[in-house]
Chains A and B, each alone.
Chain A
């Protein structure tokens, strides 16, 4: 498939995953705030830290409160990570590859975009839960259409790769939010308030039900273990890496006896195998925030290498200079093997 098309499928899924994560995240935090004895600007700021855009927020808004943070994270078109910007980017990518995706997928993305474009900020402030829960459902419809109408060939694997890497990143960021929350830096799950906070984290990734089946009682190490290391839960970091690696392996082509064929595979493989063999006590001892920070860094690195391997425009030289031509042919040859 075209490099440009592969790039667009990858980003289409990344962006829709991003929109969904932000919607989940705000929704749950709004519920959480209701249970806190006192909500300060610092609590609201913590939300913008999760998406990594706190500086942009301060450039555009005077004060962090419910209204400004919701506006910033949902409708602000100046914020490239807002729900609106993400859905717009999903659609722009989908539009550029309409011939690759199914009509059902396209219509779902298009309708989703029109819904959010028509939505009014007032109604979100007024009934936020309805709004965010609708966003989540629109995303479910997208995944449903993707799963039931798209051939699971190369394009599909690029979509999976993009989607799961984005999800791994967002789960890491959501887990990290408590690090930024005032008062309770490292919750241990021992006070009622801490329990409430961890419940909110679990809910924000729809993990509470599955967590209960697995561990029952709420405890910090078990929650971290579930969201980082569980291999079966679809939003745990480990699971996301397993799925991303499966797709990347297929996309990289026959292995010809090599352990990896490109840097993206190497970095993703390393990160994945760390998840396979480390244990949660080890992680918490060394510091949860430090660990998550490193995962986010690694994920960025993997993204860069995927770009270099599959999407980067492989320049083709002028016909006048034969020497550079053969050199660059060589480079292309190496990269594609």
Chain B
């Protein structure tokens, strides 16, 4: 099956350059090679059927027939050795810890701006900054409780942080469900390899949320707030609520009454202590943010500011998702922790800076340029894939609003073998999104979601752009 396999000069997560398996991947590769003809395919089909029957689907927007799809899934995992994982884990903890201090600073004294480590202009023009949160003290000083940081590996094997997602990272349910399915696909390997379990996530998540309630509440009421059944991530919202054994609520189920957030039950109103909200800041309270929002709860922000309900994540964490702020994370870590960054950023050019902008514009065909405040892979320019006309019109956009763009070199994302046709494996580019919980301590789920660009040569892995997922195995120490 690997007879014609070729790493084509990319870093392959399972093979070394000479096509010998990397440490830890030997058993898997041996098993794949031993499979009879067609077996790989039938296992792939069985995995897809299992996901379909479990109803792990997302709605295809704008499709009136109510079409639902599973996120494409590939049964060949990505494998991470324990030593490398340890570095990733430490790097993520350091980064989250520093970014949380940064967010807190932004809504209080703004020392880092006064000390001119970051230009004040960046904050003034930030889209994620919420004035309504100034002076807010979230419980235990934690702003970002649930984070999904995107990592990539370049040609030389170095792992970089590509993006911080401090608002509402999605996808963790795929990690949990993919693992369930993989245990059925590769039972013998799981039986002998002791791959680090991901199954603790729901109970850790519940602990993280309960930790936010005032200590005198013996059994705090935690809920998951969803925009509703038509949201593309609805499956995840309901799955996480179910796994934690808490109520899944919509905006309409909640009401502010007697100074608290309460939910409408068959027995009258019941006070809610902690809300894991999967609704953006903008939609959470029509009184404070977007007045046309039908998803949120009127008056919620007042209650929140009075400390009578906790929100995860806190409001206003989007300020750290700005890609211009991202460029300053090494300085942020240095400033608050007096430490060097463990997991480096991708070298980033800030277009608001004249010199750096010049570099981006002159080398546009060899760069990735991203809008500072988008997610989901939208609005990205990949220089070497764009036509001359596209490059020109993109350059105009940068010049018109330089604050809104950053440029990065095009990385050669690492690849993982992927089943592309019956018994045919080819390398496909991947990234990695580990999930981090900031509660009593910072916890990183071993592994995370490996997202894979299924089209040959494609670098964008987002599911909204046709990407799929793989299970991620962290090997034991």
The reply to whether B53 and A114 form a contact with Cβ atoms under 8 Å apart is: yes
Task: Chain A residues near B253: list those with CB within 8 A.
Answer: 2-4
Beyond A107-B53, A110-B54, A319-B299, whether A2 also contacts B242 by CB under 8 A is no
The reply to whether A4 and B250 form a contact with Cβ atoms under 8 Å apart is: yes
The reply to whether A110 and B247 form a contact with Cβ atoms under 8 Å apart is: no
Task: List the B residue with the shortest CB-CB distance to A154.
Answer: B266
Task: Chain A residues near B55: list those with CB within 8 A.
Answer: 95, 106-107, 110
- The number of residues on chain B lying at the interface, defined by a beta carbon within 8 Å of a beta carbon of chain A, is 30
Task: Chain A residues near B162: list those with CB within 8 A.
Answer: none
Binary CB contact string for chain B from 299 to 335 against chain A (1 if under 8 A, 0 otherwise): 1000000000000000000000000000000000000
Task: Chain A residues near B299: list those with CB within 8 A.
Answer: 319
Interface residue B229 (Cβ < 8 Å from any Cβ of A) = yes
Q: In the complex, what distance in Å separates the CA atom of A126 from the CA atom of B269?
A: 54
The segment from A49-57, A219-227, A310-318 found at the interface with B is A310-318
Residues of B at under 8 Å CB distance from A?
A: 52-55, 66, 224, 229, 234, 238-239, 241-242, 245-250, 252-253, 255, 257, 263-269, 299
Q: In the complex, what distance in Å separates the CA atom of A110 from the CA atom of B52?
A: 9
Residues of A at under 8 Å CB distance from B?
A: 1-6, 88, 92, 95-99, 103, 106-107, 110-111, 114, 154, 251, 253, 310, 313-314, 316, 319, 332, 336
The reply to whether B257 and A1 form a contact with Cβ atoms under 8 Å apart is: no
Task: Chain A residues near B239: list those with CB within 8 A.
Answer: 98
Task: Select one of B52, B238, B257, B263 contacting A2, CB under 8 A.
Answer: B263
Task: Chain A residues near B66: list those with CB within 8 A.
Answer: 88
Task: List the A residue with the shortest CB-CB distance to B52.
Answer: A114
Q: In whole Å, how far is B200's beta carbon from the nearest beta carbon of chain A?
A: 18
Task: Select one of A6, A95, A111, A114 contacting B238, CB under 8 A.
Answer: A95
The reply to whether B53 and A5 form a contact with Cβ atoms under 8 Å apart is: no
The reply to whether A3 and B247 form a contact with Cβ atoms under 8 Å apart is: no
Task: Chain B residues near A106: list those with CB within 8 A.
Answer: 55
Which residue, A98, A114, A253, has most C-beta atoms of chain B within 10 A? A98
Q: In whole Å, how far is B332's beta carbon from the nearest beta carbon of chain A?
A: 37
Q: In the complex, what distance in Å separates the CA atom of A332 from the CA atom of B53?
A: 41
Beyond A5-B247, A107-B55, A110-B54, whether A98 also contacts B242 by CB under 8 A is yes
Q: In the complex, what distance in Å separates the CA atom of A175 from the CA atom of B53?
A: 37
The reply to whether A251 and B252 form a contact with Cβ atoms under 8 Å apart is: no
Task: Select one of A1, A4, A154 contacting B252, CB under 8 A.
Answer: A4
Q: In the complex, what distance in Å separates the CA atom of A6 from the CA atom of B268?
A: 13
Q: In the complex, what distance in Å separates the CA atom of A6 from the CA atom of B264?
A: 11
The reply to whether A313 and B266 form a contact with Cβ atoms under 8 Å apart is: no
Beyond A4-B253, A92-B229, A107-B53, whether A336 also contacts B264 by CB under 8 A is no
Task: Chain A residues near B246: list those with CB within 8 A.
Answer: 99
The reply to whether B248 and A3 form a contact with Cβ atoms under 8 Å apart is: no
Task: List the B residue with the shortest CB-CB distance to A309.
Answer: B266
Q: In whole Å, how far is A252's beta carbon from the nearest beta carbon of chain B?
A: 10
A–B Cβ pairs within 8 angstroms, 6 of them: A88-B66, A96-B229, A98-B242, A98-B248, A107-B55, A332-B269
Task: Chain A residues near B265: list those with CB within 8 A.
Answer: 1-3
The reply to whether A98 and B238 form a contact with Cβ atoms under 8 Å apart is: yes
Beyond A92-B229, A95-B238, A99-B246, whether A1 also contacts B266 by CB under 8 A is yes
Q: In the complex, what distance in Å separates the CA atom of A5 from the CA atom of B299?
A: 23
Beyond A106-B55, A107-B54, whether A99 also contacts B266 by CB under 8 A is no
Q: In whole Å, how far is A132's beta carbon from the nearest beta carbon of chain B?
A: 23
The reply to whether A103 and B242 form a contact with Cβ atoms under 8 Å apart is: yes
Task: Chain A residues near B248: list those with CB within 8 A.
Answer: 97-99
Q: In whole Å, how far is A126's beta carbon from the nearest beta carbon of chain B?
A: 25
Task: Chain B residues near A2: list those with CB within 8 A.
Answer: 247, 249, 253, 263-266
Task: Chain B residues near A251: list those with CB within 8 A.
Answer: 266
Task: List the B residue with the shortest CB-CB distance to A94.
Answer: B55
